[in-house]
Copies of this chain bind each other. A is one copy, B any other.
Amino acid sequence: MRIEAVDFFYLAMPQVEDKGDGSQDALLVRVQAGGYTGWGECEASPLVCIANWCCPLSHSACKPVRDSVLGETCDSPADIERITQTVRANGLDIAQTDHTLSGIEIALWDLLGKRYEVPVYELLGVKHAYPKRPYASVLFGDTLAQTFDAAQNITRRGFRAAKFGWGPYGRGSVAADRDQIAAARDGLGPDTVLLIDAGTVWVDDVDAARLRLPALKEFGVTWLEEPFVGGALDAHKALAADALPVRLAGGEGAHNAYMAKHLIDHGGIGFIQIDTGRIGGIGTAKAVVDYATARGVTYVNHTFTTHLALSASLQPYVGIRAAEICEYPADPSLLAENLTLEKLTISSDGLVRVPEAPGLGVMPYLETLRQYLVDVHIEVGGKTLYQTPDITAS
């Protein structure tokens, strides 16, 4: 099949607020080849990725992603790998390239799965898809009461694991941070797994992070996520030793497999969290799954938004039974909630399964797209390089 068309759809809530909720907008990618249509998502700034798709050539290692994708043949996983390598070599000097690639690569897997009528994980060579235990992923409340209520709500909905992050955590006093964790634990009760996400708030300040360890231990927190930015390997390593039995988690910012491997090899993390919508897609994520598993580090998806993104994030590691936990968007925006009609629902056994359907097994819902679509128009040197296409023209 020849890749005939790639289209980007920028979707956004009418009001996007300055908070840690990444589900307020989305960049949906549609790929068409051989009469099939595949869908993917970039977990990234929509406008920057669209510019990266269509930007003029700067030099041989600074090309628009478009030049490495349109017209290419795609009949097999090996073709997706080849396209991935070409995009990366031709986009070496554009830092955004991996983010832009991600949604396209995911859509190519979806498209191949539809053509061969198998779920994506089968194309990855996985024989059996194990269910995952979902953890509800939510933001800390601005007040302790809000955090407590959110925790109780999670428990009522049947979740057996929950993650609290961002909001005020790490920005005030050590005592205030302890109170937030106490409120979350109170609301969840003693038996629910509690995870904490610091959202890189200490950048690379080990001392600031170390002050928070006693509270994490006191309330039985399983992991501390992103105490630092991903590049701060030494800081991770130093904190990891003192944090036990709490493990460090990180990796959502990785935009290639190397960055994830560095955290595993030199950062001392216990959980590697990958967003297929950032790391370059499903194939790159699968490489990290294999690398982490061989080294005793537990792979976890990073998914805070839609069920299309959730399916794409689960496919690479559904074959790893021991990696049993998965992030599950528990409080997404209306846009993210309604992006697909199909959902990866939580079964009566409390577990989540990837769809046993071709490709990703979930499709964008056209009505949602129409409602939230944001028009983009880019002109360079008087020539139109991008104009959002008609959503119905497929």
Contact = CB atoms under 8 A, between A and B. Distances in A.
Interface stretch (A75-83, A173-181, A229-237, A243-251): A229-237
Interface stretch (A150-158, A211-219, A378-386): A378-386
Contacts of A378: 47, 51, 376-379
Interface residues of A, number: 69
A98 B57 CA distance: 20
Contact of A95 (B88, B95, B233, B258): B95
A378 to B, nearest CB: 5
Contacts of A12: 56
Contacts of A379: 375-378
A98 B95 CA distance: 8
A222 to B, nearest CB: 23
Contacts of A18: 57, 59-60, 63
A47 B231 contact: no
Interface string A185-201: 00000000000000110
A374 interface: yes
A47 B56 CA distance: 8
Contact of A93 (B44, B55, B231, B258): B44
A238 to B, nearest CB: 14
A58 B16 contact: yes
B48 A55 contact: yes
A239 to B, nearest CB: 15
A375 B258 CA distance: 37
Given A25-B58, A231-B262, 6 more contacts: A18-B59, A25-B59, A45-B62, A45-B94, A95-B255, A231-B256
